[in-house]
């Protein structure tokens, strides 16, 4: 049996999870065919050149700002949260009720705020400089992030899970998985990689968040994805980077 035709294309840097991973997880859980274009060989139109080309393309309406870019029919959609929401709303991974859909939107944006703050721990001065050029500033920022921001964000998601009795700990909203659950899974995975000591200290305070992370990892499609070569390993070029000096033993 031939594979079904891809209905989506994703354009994202081919060597990191980064923000693209949030879109990949929604596509994988939705079970829809997609092409991760930049991961194709350059001779098949892949590589980083594919991203440069789609950002520069002046045809087809409003240009996208930055990767990840999701292509669906004639739409080229940038912004991680917008791309995740598009796929989720078209494939049963967003709430049906309008108010719940709006809450999913807010939750997703809150996860993305945490993602940006995690990135800026190693890039507090600017993305145009290497980490090594802003390490002094990063050493100042890291304890504020692990000591105050991580507990505040993850404590909030813990409270959301406690408020949602219907979810029985398996869902932030309602009783079915929605796309913010996938995003929270990914941010817990990333923080656990980048800041293992801080997460070890924090995990007992946010048991429902940790249980949700474990439950998402066991979903059949996500488990298959995580075990596949499509899941890139974390590394020190992405958003979640493990620099031991930013996460000392406690």
Under the rule (CB under 8 A), what is the footprint of a second copy? Answer: 58, 61-65, 73-75, 77-79, 81-82, 85-86, 99, 102-103, 105-107, 109-110, 116, 120, 124-126, 128-129, 134, 137, 140-141, 144-145, 148-149, 156, 159-160, 163-164, 172-173
- Give least dist CB 235 to a second copy, A: 24
- Give least dist CB 160 to a second copy, A: 6
- Cα 48 from Cα 50, distance rounded (Å): 5
- Give least dist CB 215 to a second copy, A: 19
Q: Quick one: 120 or 176, whose CB is closer to a second copy?
A: 120
Q: Quick one: 172 or 206, whose CB is closer to a second copy?
A: 172
Q: Quick one: 97 or 236, whose CB is closer to a second copy?
A: 97
- Give least dist CB 3 to a second copy, A: 26
- Give least dist CB 136 to a second copy, A: 9
152-160: long-range pairs with CB below 8 Å, 24+: 153/110, 153/113, 153/114, 153/117, 154/188, 154/202, 154/205, 154/206, 154/209, 155/205, 155/206, 156/110, 157/184, 157/206, 157/209, 158/205, 158/206, 158/207, 158/208, 158/209, 160/107
Q: Quick one: 84 or 202, whose CB is closer to a second copy?
A: 84
- Non-local (6+) Cβ contacts of 154 within 8 A are 188, 202, 205, 206, 209
Phi-psi region of 31 (alpha: psi -120 to 50; beta: other; left: phi over 0): left
Count of residues making up the chain: 250
Q: Quick one: 96 or 144, whose CB is closer to a second copy?
A: 144
Q: Quick one: 163 or 228, whose CB is closer to a second copy?
A: 163
The separation between the first and the last C-alpha atoms of the chain, rounded to the nearest angstrom, is: 54
- Give least dist CB 79 to a second copy, A: 4
């Amino acid at each position: 049996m031939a594979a079904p035709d891809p209905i989506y294309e994703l354009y994202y840097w081919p060597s990191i999870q980064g923000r693209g991973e949030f879109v990949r997880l929604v596509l994988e859980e939705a079970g829809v065919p997609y092409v991760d274009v930049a991961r194709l060989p350059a001779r098949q139109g892949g590589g980083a050149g594919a991203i440069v080309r789609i950002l520069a393309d002046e045809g087809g309406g409003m240009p996208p700002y930055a990767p990840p870019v999701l292509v669906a029919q004639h739409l080229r959609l940038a912004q991680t949260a917008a791309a995740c929401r598009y796929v989720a709303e078209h494939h049963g991974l967003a709430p049906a009720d309008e108010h719940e859909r709006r809450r999913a939107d807010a939750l997703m944006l809150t996860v993305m705020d945490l993602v940006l703050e995690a990135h800026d721990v190693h890039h507090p001065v600017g993305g145009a400089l290497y980490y090594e050029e802003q390490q002094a500033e990063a050493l100042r920022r890291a304890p504020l992030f692990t000591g105050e921001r991580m507990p505040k964000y993850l404590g909030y998601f813990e409270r959301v899970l406690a408020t949602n009795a219907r979810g029985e700990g398996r869902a932030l909203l309602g009783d079915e998985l929605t796309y913010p659950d996938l995003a929270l899974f990914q941010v817990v995975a990333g923080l656990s990689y980048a800041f293992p000591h801080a997460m070890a200290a924090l995990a007992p305070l946010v048991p429902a968040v940790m249980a949700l992370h474990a439950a998402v990892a066991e979903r059949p499609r996500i488990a298959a994805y995580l075990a596949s070569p499509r899941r890139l390993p974390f590394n020190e070029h992405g958003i979640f980077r493990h620099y031991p000096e930013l996460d000392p033993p406690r």
